[in-house]
Chains A and B, each alone.
With several copies, the nearest count.
Chain A
Amino acid sequence: MEAASNKELRAIFVSRHVENRDYISLGTNLPIPTAGVLLAHLTHAPDLYLNVLNFFTNLSHVQRFEDLTQIANPAMAKYAENFMSMEEQFYAISRMDLSFASGLQVDMYGNQNLFGIGTDPANMKMRGPGPVGTSTVMATVKKYFIFINEHSPRSLVKKCDQVSAIGWGEGGPDGRAKYGFPGGGPQYVITPRAIFDFDEESKRMRLKYLLPPSTLEEIIENTGFSPVIPEKVEDMPPPTAEELQVLRTRVDTRGILRD
């Protein structure tokens, strides 16, 4: 079988961190984490509870997904087991196991900025679309992964111009505890070049896996701060035949992760 693409590796990484019975919200416009969650669903997590738009559903009986980019579509209503109002969705977050965040900027402690670029509130250089629900969700969800499509000094910054959702705050082991947040905070930052976790003490981003074809030098060059670099950077354990097969034949049937 053809080797896994960079995007496929990221989806498989997500899949391996999904547990059976998890409750997960599939965001719109995030095909890689969506593929990862669905791969888990069709392999080891048949009891997933999925929140797609305002539909509450389980898709373990779906044989193949025809278009991964269209999962967040009102046509999903046909699989719905429940409709949830926006209020009910927020009521459900305390039971949510995993969520995905993103940002125009993400800083070394996993804080995110979707408000805009510029430090002067009255005169920003560029306004982002806004945080949607992330400020509240990232404060309260059990755990979350940060997903960014661009790994550059512009997106991975020392300090965000604005902060729309807190990761580990100003760092340190009590980075979140001092706010009293009920949620567990960000566990991983997934970029096209690498996967990071957070150092237990400093709560700074720490390189976990390089993603091909990136090199350590490229990571250092393209990150706007100094991430923690462990003495030995392990490789991500390779995809199994089952993972690749289910991903390609049932989840990503159009091959959008192989582009």
Chain B
Amino acid sequence: MVSERHSVVISMEEAVSMVKDGDILGIGGFVTTNKPMALLRSIMKEGKKDLALVAGTSSIEVDMMIALGLVREVTSSYVGAEALAPILPFYSRRAGRTFQVRDIDQGTFITMLRAQILRLPFLPSWGPVGTTMPALNPLIKPVADPFGGPPLMAVPPLAPDVTLIHAAQADIYGNVQHLGAVYCDPMLARAAKKVIVQVERLVSNEEIRKNPGATTLACKFVDAVVVLPYGAHPTASQNYYSIDAAHISSYVKAAREFFADSKEPLEEYLNKYIKQPESHIDYLESVGLKNILGLSLEGGL
């Protein structure tokens, strides 16, 4: 009579089939940390197209998808790789040409997600006030202050069709723990229609319940879990490994050369890391175990 509670753990293939051409795709993480790279590589390999990317603070994942011609729109407050590459080639050169930019700052981005989460038709934000953001992004409109102050700027809700997140661990029911900073991930998950989380490892429900305060996405907000160790590579995975700066730089160098002398290095990069690997394990093998295990979290400071 009593059926069992269901697992939401699925395969990479099933996960990728949840993303459709034309989708609004939410991407979690922060610049070069905790990016759901393994899921994104599969989406790129499958060639899902006309995607609207919603990635508050983003990096090479967005640039690569633009390079592959899969992107119709980007909503982001930042596309770059900080000291490694303050500006990313495809984003910087193709913005407004092969895809639209929804210019926004991070505070206003959060406001759009909050409007969706609370199902409010608009929320006011300080971010665009006085700036040229409303001229760049026609979604932003002035709103009168009913208490008599100067007008503010309002933004509408933003709802990803599917949000992809990378986190440290989850149980089979989809209770997720980041074991560190969560960035915008909880808001991106709450605002989305579907949420897929890739995790470094699966843990028991008892492990989750030992520290319920550490649960960063309750299972209600998680539709699917895919177990993908080292899945954030070449970005960092909190509590697991640091960024692979050499790998990121190799992509940036190839992308820069695309606009200078030669299109070959980029083609080689994309073949080796996106198109040829048949699986996530294949990808990790092409990166090499030695490289991967060298990405310690020690040092710094």
Contact = CB atoms under 8 A, between A and B. Distances in A.
User: Do A and B touch, yes or no (CB under 8 Å, in the complex)?
Assistant: yes
Interface of A: 20, 23, 28-29, 42-44, 46-47, 49, 53-56, 58, 60-62, 65-67, 69-71, 73-87, 90-95, 115-116, 121-124, 126-137, 139-140, 162-166, 169, 178-183, 242, 246
B119 A182 contact: yes
14 contacts: A42-B2, A66-B301, A74-B181, A77-B238, A81-B215, A83-B181, A92-B221, A94-B190, A115-B136, A126-B87, A128-B87, A140-B118, A179-B130, A180-B145
B95 A127 contact: yes
B234 to A, nearest CB: 14
Nearest to A112: B131
Contacts of B121: 180
B133 interface: yes
A67 B299 CA distance: 9
Interface stretch (B46-54, B102-110, B248-256): B102-110
The 10 A-B pairs at the shortest CB distance, nearest first, are namely A136-B107, A54-B181, A135-B105, A129-B80, A182-B119, A75-B300, A133-B106, A82-B215, A135-B127, A80-B212
B287 interface: no
A163 B33 CA distance: 28
A58 B175 CA distance: 11
B299 A75 contact: yes
Interface in B205-226: 205, 208-209, 212-213, 215, 218-221
B84 to A, nearest CB: 9
B214 to A, nearest CB: 9
Given A42-B2, A91-B190, A76 B300 contact: yes
B30 A54 contact: yes
Interface size class of B (residues with CB under 8 A): 35 or more
B78 A130 contact: yes
Interface of B: 1-6, 30-31, 33, 56-57, 76-80, 82-83, 86-88, 91-93, 95-96, 101, 103-108, 110, 114, 117-119, 121, 125-133, 135-136, 145, 149-150, 152, 173, 175, 180-187, 190, 205, 208-209, 212-213, 215, 218-221, 236, 238-239, 242, 297-301
A112 to B, nearest CB: 9
A81 B107 contact: no
B61 to A, nearest CB: 14
B129 A181 contact: yes
Contacts of B128: 135
A75 B186 CA distance: 22
Given A58-B173, A82-B218, A83-B180, A90 B118 contact: yes
Q: Specify which of A28, A121, A123 lies most central, judged by the most chain B CB atoms within 10 Å of its CB.
A: A121
Contacts of B136: 115, 121, 162
Contact of B86 (A29, A135, A181): A29
Contacts of A92: 190, 218, 220-221
B218 A49 contact: yes
A84 B196 CA distance: 21
A73 B300 contact: yes
A129 B78 contact: yes
B77 A130 contact: yes
Given A77-B239, A164-B132, 10 more contacts: A53-B33, A54-B30, A54-B180, A56-B218, A74-B180, A85-B184, A135-B107, A139-B127, A181-B130, A182-B126
Contacts of A182: 119, 126
A51 B35 CA distance: 21
B242 A130 contact: no
